[in-house]
Structure 1
Amino acid sequence: MLTLHGFSSSNYYNIVKHCLLHKGVPFDEHLVYPGMPELVALSPAGKVPALTTASGTTLSESSVLIEYIEEAYPDKPLLPKDPEQRAQVRQVMKMAELYLELPARRLLPAVLGNVPVSDAVKKEVRLTLDKGTASLGQLARFKPWVCGDELSLADIYLRYVLAIPKLVGPSQLQWDVLPAVPGLAEWDARMAEDAVSKQVDADQQANMKEFMAYVGKAMGGAKQEDN
């Protein structure tokens, strides 16, 4: 039995969880937050998620985990057979992470902890996000899925990568990512109606209060250390 380590409020955790649920792979969940000593034993960088395989090997980094799951559990594949089409799926995944999720993440402290972010940082983030939405507009097909007529890893990855710009954009940039790419809002609504998406979203909501309490406690401890 696989064990997925992390917490349901994490978008990267949910990428891996969605893949497992979509494929029907049995797994246990182990709740662990960043900063907990036990997480470092599971993930060298202390990041969520991590995965313990049936043989006891522990792996980390979400992109590594979903590639492992795709290879180890080939039923209901999430990558096309054609090498070029597989590369196109991975291209969307990488672009979305580098130019949408990671820059938007810089504004999370302002949303989660009311930490001021300078206008210069906001401007830099917005420029990178504009590059990301332009790239996505060029690469995505939405016919009806991101890379064509079959749901792929690109759809799952993009859904949870978008969670961060959707969270920070309106309040920090007065900007909404969904209208920025033609077809994105309709695709996003379609993904939200998927049964697996609904299960993941419900688990996320159930975890949110505990996660925010953990964040508040962690940030409070950090402020005391600074004083």
Structure 2
Amino acid sequence: MITLHGFAASNYYNLVKHALLYKDIPFEENLVYPSSDELLAVSPVGKVPAITMPDGFNLSESSVICDFIEESYPDTQLYPADAKERATVRQIMKIAELYFELPSRRLIPFTFSGTQVPKPIAMEVRQVLERGIIALNHLSQFSPWVAGEHFTMADIYLYYVNTIVSAFAARQLDWDIMAQIPGMTEWNETMSQSDIAKRVDADRLTNMPEFMQYVQAQIKAVHTK
């Protein structure tokens, strides 16, 4: 059985978990936090998520894991068969990560510490998000799914990227970012109502208090050095 290493408060962990559940692949979860010795044993840089296959093969990086899962368990497909359509799905995933998720992450420390985001950082984050908005407006279809008629890995990836965008960038910048992309808000609501998304979110809420204790401990450790 596959072991999924990480914690349920992580959006990257959750997108891999969603893919495993969607494909109905048996797996077990191993609760572990970043940079611990246990995680470093299965992830070269101590990042969440990581998976361990039944034969002991370890793999990290969420997009790499998603590709590996697709190739190893092809019965329920999450990528189109056509090479160009498959490339478009991966392009949407990469843009969502680089121009939506990563800039939004820059605002996490200010949210957790309750401090004001410096104006230059807020402006930089907004500029990157605006590039992402332009790109996703160009590539996304929402007819009804992100890449067209069929549910793909792009739907899973973008949905969990949006959890970070909504929790941090949208709140800190006071900006309804999803509303800038026609169809995204409605699609996001549809995604949230699936049985898998509800299960993943319930697990996230259960893990959140322990995760926040971990975050506060990390902040305290930095300040006492």
TM-score range, shorter chain: over 0.9
Q: Give the length in aligned residue pairs.
A: 225
Cα distance per residue 1:102-153 (max 9 Å; x no partner):
0110000011232443210110000000110111111000000000111000
CA separation in 2, counterparts of 1:70 and 1:109? 34
**Structure-2 residue corresponding to 1:37:** 37
Please say if residues 35 and 45 of structure 2, whose CA atoms lie closer than 8 Å, have aligned partners that are also in contact: no
SS in 1 for 2:98: helix
CA separation in 2, counterparts of 1:18 and 1:217? 29
Residue 157 (structure 2) pairs with residue 145 (structure 1) = no
Matching residue's letter, 2:93 = M
Please say if residues 2 and 26 of structure 2, whose CA atoms lie closer than 8 Å, have aligned partners that are also in contact: yes
Q: Structure 1 length normalisation: TM-score?
A: 0.97
**Structure-2 residue corresponding to 1:180:** 180
Please say if residues 50 and 60 of structure 1, whose CA atoms lie closer than 8 Å, have aligned partners that are also in contact: yes
Please say if residues 93 and 157 of structure 1, whose CA atoms lie closer than 8 Å, have aligned partners that are also in contact: yes
Which segment is superposed worse, 172-181 or 145-154?
Answer: 172-181
Please say if residues 169 and 176 of structure 1, whose CA atoms lie closer than 8 Å, have aligned partners that are also in contact: no
Please say if residues 140 and 146 of structure 1, whose CA atoms lie closer than 8 Å, have aligned partners that are also in contact: yes
**Structure-2 residue corresponding to 1:95:** 95
Cα distance per residue 1:159-214 (max 9 Å; x no partner):
00111111113431111212111000000001011111111011001100110011
Q: Structure 2 length normalisation: TM-score?
A: 0.98
Matching residue's letter, 2:18 = H
CA RMSD of aligned residues (A): 0.9
Residue 160 (structure 2) pairs with residue 160 (structure 1) = yes
- Runs of 4 or more above 2 Å deviation: 113-117
**Structure-1 residue corresponding to 2:80:** 80
Which segment is superposed worse, 140-149 or 176-185?
Answer: 176-185
CA separation in 1, counterparts of 2:52 and 2:118? 40
Please say if residues 6 and 50 of structure 2, whose CA atoms lie closer than 8 Å, have aligned partners that are also in contact: yes
CA separation in 1, counterparts of 2:116 and 2:213? 20
Please say if residues 8 and 204 of structure 2, whose CA atoms lie closer than 8 Å, have aligned partners that are also in contact: yes
Task: Report the alpha carbon displacement of residue 219 of structure 1 after superposing the two structures with TM.
Answer: 0.7
Please say if residues 22 and 196 of structure 1, whose CA atoms lie closer than 8 Å, have aligned partners that are also in contact: yes
SS in 1 for 2:125: helix
**Structure-2 residue corresponding to 1:23:** 23
**Structure-2 residue corresponding to 1:122:** 122
Residue 105 (structure 2) pairs with residue 105 (structure 1) = yes
CA separation in 2, counterparts of 1:191 and 1:116? 32
CA separation in 1, counterparts of 2:171 and 2:179? 16
**Structure-1 residue corresponding to 2:190:** 190
Residue 5 (structure 2) pairs with residue 5 (structure 1) = yes
Unaligned runs of 5+ in 2: none
